Amino acid sequence: MPLPLTGPGVRFNPSRDSNARYGTVEMVRGLVDAGARVERELGGLPVTINDLSYESGGPIPHHRSHQSGRDVDVFFYQLDAEGEPIESVGAFFDPSGSGVDFRDLADASDDVALRLDIPRTWLFLQALIEDDGAQLQHIFVAEHLRTLLMDYARGHGVPTATIARFAGMSCQPSYPHDDHFHFRFFCAPDDIPKGCRDSPPMYPWQRRKLEDAGVRPRPLAPRRKQAKAKVVTHQEAREAAGPMDAEVEHWLDRRQQWLDQPHPGRAYCP
């Protein structure tokens, strides 16, 4: 089903292809409910949701996944320099939760200072994690932002079980995800007999859910051999971007500190 272009607490990014906003019923409902909960409890601006999948699935430009309606990219909630909610953009955030919206990369006069809106961002996560019907599997996010969110949850009375699930399902992949979340959702129990296949990991609580539903997860089929997509290096991307003001260069240099994938030894970190 399509994600609504707008709704209480959510909006599909108008700069993205609106044909790429299809997901499973469970995932779309989970996203809409989570955004509505944040609006209801904390107010502010809607969460900005980027690509899901095409209506019929299959490869989608600029993504290796997003082919089965169970992947979605979501911007973090953001604040301006005065601490007021601001429309979210794809700005990357440092270990202190600071970021900059570099609009014209060569013009420092239009830079906008940003802060990660940790309370709203965490509540959106909490709503997804606690939504048993949505069946969230992975949260891909930069390690330093994961730490900020974990520290906030521990200091604000979040249920221990919710924090434990966040700890288990969140991880920094090879690309750091310091400018957005990537969420992956499990196959719904009624979709598994129809052929839906899950990638690992299969958490203990998910196994129990499937056992209660009387179904067994189906592992992924062997991958077909196919040409690998060209991967652009960070240096190539910098060179292709053209002239940049000194502050942009400074941020890109700092970003090298967290580009390498950490290896924390977590049980479920891919």
What is the 3-class SS of the chain, one letter each residue?
Answer: CECCCEECCEEECCCCCHHHCECCHHHHHHHHHHHHHHHHHHCCCCEEECCCECCCCCCCCCCCCCCCCCEEEECCCEECCCCCEECCCCCCECCCCEEEECCCCCCHHHCEEEEECHHHHHHHHHHHHHCCCCCEEEEECCHHHHHHHHHHHHCCCCCHHHHHHHHHHEECCCCCCCCCEEEEECCCCCCHHHCCCECCCCCHHHHHHHHHHCCCCCECCCCCCCCCCCCCCHHHHHHHHCCCCHHHHHHHHHHHHHCCCCCCCCCCCC
Using one digit for the tens of pLDDT, what is the confidence trace for 102-149? 988 888 888 999 999 999 999 999 999 999 999 999 999 999 999 999
Q: What is the arithmetic mean of pLDDT over 69-85? A: 96
pLDDT for the residue 107: 85
pLDDT for the residue 223: 59
Share of the chain above pLDDT 90, in %: 66
Residue 253 has pLDDT above 60, yes or no: yes
Decide if 172 contacts 140 (C-beta within 8 A). yes
Residue 230 has pLDDT above 70, yes or no: no
CA 203 from centre of chain = 19
Q: Mean pLDDT in the chain?
A: 90
Of 231 and 136, the structure prediction assigns the larger pLDDT to 136
Decide if 268 contacts 137 (C-beta within 8 A). no
6-185+227-258: CATH number = 3.30.1380
Q: Which of 62-66, 164-168, 169-173, 245-249 has the lowest mean pLDDT?
A: 62-66
pLDDT for the residue 65: 75
Q: What is the arithmetic mean of pLDDT over 223-232? A: 56
pLDDT for the residue 208: 93
Residue 228 has pLDDT above 70, yes or no: no
Residues in the chain: 270
Residues 6+ apart with CB under 8 A from 63: 51, 71
The CA-atom distances, in angstroms, between 3 and each of 29, 61, 67, 222 are: 8, 19, 15, 30
Q: How confident is the model at residue 15 (pLDDT cuts 50, 70, 90)?
A: very high
Decide if 205 contacts 184 (C-beta within 8 A). no
Q: How far is it, in rounded angstroms, from Cα 124 to Cα 118? A: 10
Pairing relationship of beta strands 10-12 and 47-49 according to DSSP bridges: parallel
pLDDT for the residue 231: 60
pLDDT for the residue 169: 94
pLDDT for the residue 8: 96
pLDDT for the residue 178: 95
